[in-house]
Amino acid sequence: GAVVSQHPSRVICKSGTSVKIECRSLDFQATTMFWYRQFPKKSLMLMATSNEGSKATYEQGVEKDKFLINHASLTLSTLTVTSAHPEDSSFYICSARDLGGDSRETQYFGPGTRLLVL
């Protein structure tokens, strides 16, 4: 149980284009999902908390107009990187909590999306 998927796993795009990343909870409902960013050999940094049916909560320093988050259903959250630039190249990982599971606090991570902006 508690499986989270992400799509795509890898994407290469031109500078100035927008990229959408999907995060799905496959066998549970997730009212809250989390989006992280990880640079090589660095820690995961929380970007935003995605709330089903309401606006996302962004961490300090994260531009909400650049990183658009939509949590349209209990099993799907999307992150859109708008007008991507090379400095946006990174590993993006989503996670979700299974509030109906044994541990409400545990976050289960998706396999990540590697974004390369040329």
Residues that bind another protein (CB under 8 A): 4, 6, 32, 34, 41-46, 49, 91, 93, 97, 103, 105-112, 114
48-70: burial string, b at 16+ Cβ within 10 Å, e else? bbbebeeebebeeebeeeebbbe
> Which residue, 51 or 80, has its beta carbon nearer to another protein?
51
Q: Which residues pair with 45 in a beta bridge?
A: 37
Strand-pair category, 57-58 with 4-7: unpaired
* Least Å from the CB of residue 52 to another protein: 14
* Least Å from the CB of residue 16 to another protein: 26
* Least Å from the CB of residue 83 to another protein: 26
